[in-house]
Amino acid sequence: MTARILDGTATAQALLEETADRAAKITERLGRKPSLVTVLVGEDPASKTYVKMKANRAAKYGLESRRIELPDTSTTAEVVARVEELSADDTVDGILVQHPVPSQVDEPAVFEAIRADKDVDGVTMTSFAAMGLGRTGFQSCTPGGIIRLLDAYQLPLEGQHAVVVGRSPILGKPVGMLLLERNATVTYCHSRTRDLAEVVRTADLIVAAVGRPELIRGDWVKPGAVVVDAGYNPGNVGDVEYAAAAERASWITPVPGGVGPMTIATLLAQTVDAALTRL
């Protein structure tokens, strides 16, 4: 068996084109483009690259993208105040605070300064609760992108045993909640899980989201399982031993070209959703 590819690049492109169509219609009615503001604190080179990429993608698909840069000496109070200003600005539809922030800044406090109806990155407690309770709200972009990707290939989720390896508040935990909402049976694993390999071997769907290169070995994959690798490590290596896993899985995401493109496409789609509420 050789796994078929869950092509995040192609699926994201389709979502971006749909988003551009919606953005154009909203621009006509609203008198301005849907607006995404990114807050960048400090000088982290990778963060600067990500922010530039997001801005270019937003502009290409009909959104206005603004960047707010704050010095790496900023205090929590200063960053919170700036985010609160953006939350009160009627010309701003979505706010993204680029992770990570400098160590002296309380990142959760900054996230909570984002008004819930502008939390297009799905990082506030309100968004987390909405995902957990199955209510209307914004999804964390990587988990939301994963669900969109699985849906695009019409892969069944109901009744499937999903094993999520990782428990971060913006990836592992919310993707498990979204899968549970779709009637999957969800097991969370993490660094203290005993017999990790044995648990993973029971999975119909594996979501690897732990940030350790090739932690999930190919022979852990049950024949016919679906493998979603949300890890990205130096050298374009995911959290799954790709070649060996692809010999056993039915479907698998490549790294790169799997989950990553879906994350940005979901961010822009949710920004347009936010703009729609201003009409």
Q: Determine the Cα–Cα distance for residues 119 and 215; give it in Å rounded to an integer.
A: 32
Q: Determine the Cα–Cα distance for residues 162 and 205; give it in Å rounded to an integer.
A: 5
Q: Determine the Cα–Cα distance for residues 96 and 185; give it in Å rounded to an integer.
A: 31
Q: Determine whether 98 is an active site residue.
A: yes
Q: Determine whether 121 is an active site residue.
A: yes
Query: Exactly one of 33, 93, 118, 121 is catalytic; which is it?
Result: 121
Query: Exactly one of 54, 118, 173, 222 is catalytic; which is it?
Result: 54
Q: Which of 8, 12, 6, 9 is nearest to 265 (CA)?
A: 12
The phi and psi torsions of 41 (rounded to 5 degrees) equal -110, 120
Q: Determine whether 13 is an active site residue.
A: no
Write the CB contacts of 60 (distance below 8 Å, at least 6 apart in sequence): none
Helix axis angle, 259-276 relative to 141-152, nearest 10°?
100
Tokens 């939301």 identify what position?
A: 144
Query: Exactly one of 33, 98, 139, 239 is catalytic; which is it?
Result: 98
Strand, helix or coil for residue 163 = strand
Task: Report yes or no: 155 and 5 within 8 Å, Cβ to Cβ.
Answer: no
- Catalytic residue set: 54, 98, 121
